[in-house]
Amino acid sequence: MTAQPAAPERRRDPDGTRSEILEVAQQEFARHGYAGARVDEIAARMRTTKRMIYYYFGSKERLYVAVLEKAYAEVREMERAVQVEHLAPVEAIRTLAELAFDHHDLLRDFIKLVTIENVHQAEHIRTSQALTNLGTPVLDLIEAILEAGTASGDFVACLTQGADAIDVHMLISSFCFFRVANQHTFGALFGRDMSAPEHRARLRAMVGDMVVAYVRGSGA
Amino acid sequence: MTAQPAAPERRRDPDGTRSEILEVAQQEFARHGYAGARVDEIAARMRTTKRMIYYYFGSKERLYVAVLEKAYAEVREMERAVQVEHLAPVEAIRTLAELAFDHHDLLRDFIKLVTIENVHQAEHIRTSQALTNLGTPVLDLIEAILEAGTASGDFVACLTQGADAIDVHMLISSFCFFRVANQHTFGALFGRDMSAPEHRARLRAMVGDMVVAYVRGSGA
DNA sequence: CACCTAACTCACTAGTACGTACATTAGGAG
DNA sequence: CTCCTAATGTACGTACTAGTGAGTTAGGTG
């Protein structure tokens, strides 16, 4: 049905095959976990065969690590696009939190992979140099904002309570991550799907308000 | 080595066998996930045999659900012990958050089970009436605190931003849960084990400060 | 003490899942 | 056009894993 009369099927396409495997494998691992994922199922959902998975990746485990590396790379790409330097500290940290919220909203598969990786105590991430050597651009951003806010007198939390950039990053991430990662058990027990569209705007504002309230220091 | 000369081995012990299976199974499921857990491995780490697992629980899946039910029951027991009614709203919500922090710190296996259950979209929790029919005592507590704080004028967040008890519960839970659940990937990427003892006191204070700052409303 | 049933053991099976040996072909290099 | 290699397809092997059939024993009951 798609208009591709010139190339209806290309027989040889290493890059295409490789990236199709990664794409389908990401879905499979995200849906069923590492042990629950089936190499045969990944193969069945591709145009190519299982043999190619082993030809390109060698083993289920190395395929899984490759999926992780690709997913993390995409996230870093997203983070790199964040521009908040032009904003005053309060608005900068709020915007950063809201963007983190948006990112977590989009990257469902990535969040599942991180979740799964934590079940396995991050053993695969730790063995991947490509992952442990990733810089963390967002931390530098937070650090700069905290310094500016402290200097301007808008923020007091970091001074009084000893919270640093990593702590604030965790504060923001935890809210955004939890909303997506735990939506199913939370929904089953409290009867509310935090991840549903009707709650999106309110919770997005909430993470911004929360982090601003915290760094302003009225909780002490 | 333990002083039990009277009953060195009791041959028949249905309750003991059942609870030993649940205990070992909880560890196995928490460590490896549902698909990754091995029934044979559970059996090997017990005094009894694999056949007994099927005798008492029928299938791997029903064993897993039984583990979930037991774990949730223990959590509810912990929550029921929380007493904050005697405190003023600000201190009540802070104390509640700090207790949640403590509970998450203790219930590592439970947190892993919840994590795993979310990977599977809570399919097992949803099919267990014992779990979906659990009340949520902590929600009532939060509701009461929010009402008291709003009435006394200490809190404004709930009025101005439309956050309710479930939202505030999520705010607290997300921080406490994330710190434990994501400790491995977070540690691998940021070089800090949020779950290590040296960060405990600071992060415990942080969740209290955060929720108080939020409900006081200085983030708007 | 005899009996009966719940609790327990052992050996086994059917199916599944990762991985591979081997055959084949596309398509660029010379 | 020929050859050579990277890329691909087929069919299968091995090991593991959930689950079970059938027999055995502890220990309370009458």
B52 with B113, same domain? no
Torsion of CA B143, B146, B149, B152, to 10 degrees: -70
Q: Is residue A120 part of a domain?
A: yes
CATH of the domain at A103: 1.10.357.10
Q: Which residues of B15-28 are buried (b: 16+ CB within 10 A; e: fewer)?
A: eebbebbbbbbbbb
Q: Is residue B76 part of a domain?
A: yes
A125 with A185, same domain? yes
Q: Is residue A105 part of a domain?
A: yes
Give pLDDT, residue B159.
65
For residues B210 and B198, is the Cβ–Cβ distance under 8 A?
no
Kindly report the nearest CA distance between residue A162 and chain B, in angstroms. Answer: 8
Please report, as a single letter, which amino acid is at residue A157. A
- Give the integer Cα–Cα distance in Å for A213 and B209: 9
For residues A137 and A79, is the Cβ–Cβ distance under 8 A?
yes
Give pLDDT, residue B135.
67
pLDDT digits (tens, 9 = 90+) for B179-195: 999 999 999 999 999 99
Orientation angle between helical segments A108-119 and B14-36, nearest 10 degrees: 140
Is the model more confident about B134 or about B179? B179
Q: How far is CA A202 from CA A47, A55, A102, A214, in A?
A: 42, 48, 13, 18
For residues B185 and A173, is the Cβ–Cβ distance under 8 A?
no
B37 with B99, same domain? no
Q: How far is CA B52 from CA A102, A213, B67, in A?
A: 49, 55, 16
For residue A55, say whether its CB is under 7 Å from any atom of strand D: yes
For residue A46, say whether its CB is under 7 Å from any atom of strand D: no
A82 with A37, same domain? no
Q: Is residue A65 part of a domain?
A: no
Q: Is residue A197 part of a domain?
A: yes
B96 with B181, same domain? yes
CB contacts, 8 Å: A112 with chain B = 119
Which bases along strand C come within 7 Å of a protein CB atom?
A: 6-11, 17-22, 25-27
Give pLDDT, residue B22.
97
Contacts of A29 (CB under 8 A, 6+ apart): A37, A64, A67, A113, A116
Question: Which residue, A13, A28, A58, sits at the end of a domain?
Answer: A58
Question: Which residue, B35, B58, B81, sits at the end of a domain?
Answer: B58
B54 with B83, same domain? no
Domain residues for the domain of A20 are 1-58
- Give the integer Cα–Cα distance in Å for B31 and B37: 8
Give pLDDT, residue A131.
84
For residue B7, say whether its CB is under 7 Å from any atom of strand D: no
A112 with A187, same domain? yes
Q: How far is CA B38 from CA A43, A121, B115, in A?
A: 25, 18, 18
pLDDT band at A159 (very low <50, low <70, confident <90, very high): low
Residue A13, class by beta-carbon neighbours within 10 Å (0-12 exposed, 13-18 middle, 19+ buried)? Answer: middle
Protein CA at A197 to nucleotide C1' at D26, angstroms = 60
Residue B51, class by beta-carbon neighbours within 10 Å (0-12 exposed, 13-18 middle, 19+ buried)? Answer: exposed
Q: Is residue B122 part of a domain?
A: yes
A85 with A167, same domain? yes
CB contacts, 8 Å: A219 with chain B = 208-214, 216
Q: Is residue B101 part of a domain?
A: yes
Torsion of CA B4, B6, B12, B14, to 10 degrees: -50
A51 with A111, same domain? no
Question: Which residue, A34, A58, A82, sits at the end of a domain?
Answer: A58
Phi then psi for A155, rounded to 5 degrees? -105, 145
Residue A206 and residue B167: Cβ atoms within 8 Å? Answer: yes
- Give the integer Cα–Cα distance in Å for A126 and A117: 10
pLDDT band at B217 (very low <50, low <70, confident <90, very high): confident
| Overall domain count for chain B | 2
A38 with A92, same domain? no
Torsion of CA A144, A149, A150, A156, to 10 degrees: -130
* Helices first, then strands: H and E counts in chain B: 13, 0
Average pLDDT over residues B121-127: 94
CATH of the domain at B14: 1.10.10
A90 with A182, same domain? yes
Q: Hey, is B97 helix, strand or coil?
A: helix
- Give the integer Cα–Cα distance in Å for B165 and A205: 16
Kindly report the nearest CA distance between residue B97 and chain A, in angstroms. Answer: 12
C-alpha gyration radius of chain B: 21
Residue A209 and residue B161: Cβ atoms within 8 Å? Answer: yes
pLDDT digits (tens, 9 = 90+) for A196-211: 999 999 999 999 999 9
Residue A76 scores a pLDDT above 70: yes
Average pLDDT over residues A156-164: 78
Q: Is residue A66 part of a domain?
A: no
A92 with A192, same domain? yes
For residue B51, say whether its CB is under 7 Å from any atom of strand D: yes
